[in-house]
Structure 1
Amino acid sequence: MDERWRADLGMWAIPEEIAARAPVSPWGHSPARFAQRTDLALAAPEGPTLARIAEALPPGGSVLDVGAGTGAASLPLGRDLGELIAVDPSGAMLAELASRAAALGVPTRTVDGRWPDVADRTPVADVAVSAHVVYDVPGLAGFLTELTRHARVRVVLELTGRHPMSWLNPLWQHFHGITRPRRPTAHDVIDIAEGLGHEVHHEWRVAPLPRFTRLEDLAESACRRLCLGWERADEVIAAVVELDMWPVPRDRWFTLWWESK
Structure 2
Amino acid sequence: MDDLGGLAERWRAELAEWGIPDEIAAKAPADPWEHSPARFAGRTDRALADPEGPTLARIAEALPERGSVLDVGAGTGAASLPLARLGAVRGGGGGSGTLGELVAVDTSEAMLAELASRAGALGVPARTIRGRWPDVAGETPAADVAVAAHVVYNVPDLAGFLSELTGHARRRVVLELSHRHPMSWLNPLWAHFHGIVRPERPTADDVAALAERLGYGVRRQERLAPLSRFSGVAELAESACRRLCLDPGRAEEVVAAVAELDLWPVPRDQWVTLWWDPA
Query: TM range, normalised to the smaller chain?
Result: over 0.9
Match of 2:45 among 35, 39, 54: 39
Counting aligned pairs with the same residue, the percent is 74
2 CA distance for matches of 1:232 and 1:153? 49
**Unaligned runs of at least 5 residues, structure 2:** 1-6, 86-97
RMSD (Å) for aligned C-alpha atoms: 0.5
Q: 2:173 is matched with which residue?
A: 155
Q: 2:209 is matched with which residue?
A: 191
Give the match's secondary structure for 1:82: strand
Aligned residues: 261
Q: 1:206 is matched with which residue?
A: 224
Match of 1:11 among 13, 17, 33: 17
1:59 aligned onto 2:53:
no
- Post-superposition CA distance 1:156-202 (Å, at most 9, x none): 00000000000000000000000000000000000000010001000
1 CA distance for matches of 2:65 and 2:187? 45
Give the deviation of 1:100 after TM superposition: 0.2
Give the deviation of 1:260 after TM superposition: 1.1
Give the match's secondary structure for 2:231: coil
Give the deviation of 1:128 after TM superposition: 0.1
1 CA distance for matches of 2:11 and 2:243? 22
Q: 2:200 is matched with which residue?
A: 182
1 CA distance for matches of 2:125 and 2:172? 20
TM-score by length of 2: 0.93
Give the deviation of 1:213 after TM superposition: 1.2
Match of 1:96 among 90, 111, 114: 114
Q: 1:30 is matched with which residue?
A: 36
1 CA distance for matches of 2:151 and 2:234? 26
1:165 aligned onto 2:183:
yes
Give the deviation of 1:8 after TM superposition: 0.3
- Post-superposition CA distance 1:101-132 (Å, at most 9, x none): 00000010010000000000000000000000
Give the match's secondary structure for 1:233: helix
Ranges of 4+ aligned residues in structure 1 off by more than 6 Å: none
**Unaligned runs of at least 5 residues, structure 1:** none
2 CA distance for matches of 1:58 and 1:39? 25
- Post-superposition CA distance 1:139-161 (Å, at most 9, x none): 00000000000000000000000
Q: 1:78 is matched with which residue?
A: 84
Q: 1:249 is matched with which residue?
A: 267
TM-score by length of 1: 0.99
1:127 aligned onto 2:140:
no
